[in-house]
Structure 1
Amino acid sequence: MDLATVMDRLAIDEVVTGYAVAVDDADWPAYRALFTPDGRADYTAAGGIEGPAAEVGDWLAGILRPYRVRQHLIVNRRLRIEDLGGYPGDRAEVRAEYLSPLRHESGEDLMCGGGFTFGLVRGDGGWLLRTVAAREKWRHAARHHG
């Protein structure tokens, strides 16, 4: 693996981690900054909406506001960088699983899991998200006592 590919892999991993941190910290300007100007997010397979990243960010801000604790663990990342005849290209895809424990202000604990597909493009300033699609596989809710 050449140095350029290693650097791309590290930069792409930073974008995916930045996505999880922005959502968990409710840092919606940082969330929007991770996307290309025409970036889109699709949460329909997780019970949400699909649309421009800024619009979906507003929706996420509203739906997650009552959750005092948010933690998105994005694991088992599988990265594929476009191959241009043995050279890294300007597009990449990350498929990863997530586990997300949440605590609602009412005291309800929600645990859900599923997968993400991140589509990235290389811009002048580095790698950015062009698409994000979430697909929830399961969820479990329980009342917290304590």
Structure 2
Amino acid sequence: MLSLAEISDRLEIQQLLIDYSSAIDRRQFDDLDHVFTPDAYIDYRAMGGIDGQFPEVKQWLAEVLPNFPAYAHMLGNFDVRITGDTASSRTICFNPMVLPGEAQQVLFCGLWYEDEFIRTADGWRMSRRVETKCFDKVV
């Protein structure tokens, strides 16, 4: 049986995952400062992106994502594992992205987020994010 503290931690981490998606989908990239640790490692290479430390990747997101007219994240299957002041999770993401151009094509992306977290003075923060590709298809 889960303790109230573990239930609270799981809900905080799940909200952090949602906060990430909301910041990206609303194009409010500075909101990611409340999701990641300043030295977080992020690896988006499985879906054609870059990898690196949070500040570099945040700048890349702010430059690249506005090229897409629309996109949205839908998360599910939150598998959160907590060990004291660290945690890990595996979450599935469905991310359709409208491609630039007049053809109105959509890139359907299916991926897993493999994340690590650390409890900080400001609450839980993501210290590592690695994407694993499930599928992608242009329609």
> How does the TM-score come out when normalised to structure 1?
0.88
CA distance in 2, matches of 1:109, 1:46: 15
Q: Which runs of 5+ in 1 are unaligned?
A: 83-88
Q: Residue 52 and residue 25 in structure 1: after superposition, are their counterparts in 2 closer, same or farther (change >3 A)?
A: same
Q: Does 1:13 align with 2:8?
A: no
Q: Shift in Å at residue 62 of structure 1?
A: 2.1
Q: Which runs of 5+ in 2 are unaligned?
A: none
Residue in structure 1 matched with residue 113 of structure 2 by the alignment: 116
Residue 6 of structure 2: SS of its match in structure 1?
A: helix
Consecutive aligned runs of 4 or more in structure 1 exceeding 2 Å deviation: none
Q: Does 1:25 align with 2:26?
A: yes
Residue in structure 2 matched with residue 61 of structure 1 by the alignment: 62
Q: Shift in Å at residue 134 of structure 1?
A: 0.9
The percent identity for this pair of structures is 30
Residue 58 of structure 2: SS of its match in structure 1?
A: helix
Q: Shift in Å at residue 118 of structure 1?
A: 1.2
CA distance in 1, matches of 2:78, 2:56: 26
Q: Which amino acid aligns with 1:139?
A: D
Deviation by residue 1:24-66 (Cα, 9 ceiling, x = unmatched) = 1111100133111211211112221111112111112222112
CA distance in 1, matches of 2:12, 2:34: 15
Q: Does 1:74 align with 2:69?
A: no
Q: Which amino acid aligns with 1:14?
A: Q
CA distance in 1, matches of 2:53, 2:34: 13
**Which has the larger helix fraction?**
2
CA distance in 1, matches of 2:111, 2:119: 26
Aligned length: 136
CA distance in 1, matches of 2:50, 2:100: 23
CA distance in 1, matches of 2:134, 2:33: 25
Residue in structure 2 matched with residue 52 of structure 1 by the alignment: 53
CA distance in 1, matches of 2:27, 2:7: 30
Q: Which amino acid aligns with 1:44?
A: R
Residue in structure 1 matched with residue 98 of structure 2 by the alignment: 103
**Which has the larger strand fraction?**
1
Residue 121 of structure 1: SS of its match in structure 2?
A: strand
CA distance in 2, matches of 1:31, 1:37: 10
Q: Which amino acid aligns with 1:81?
A: I
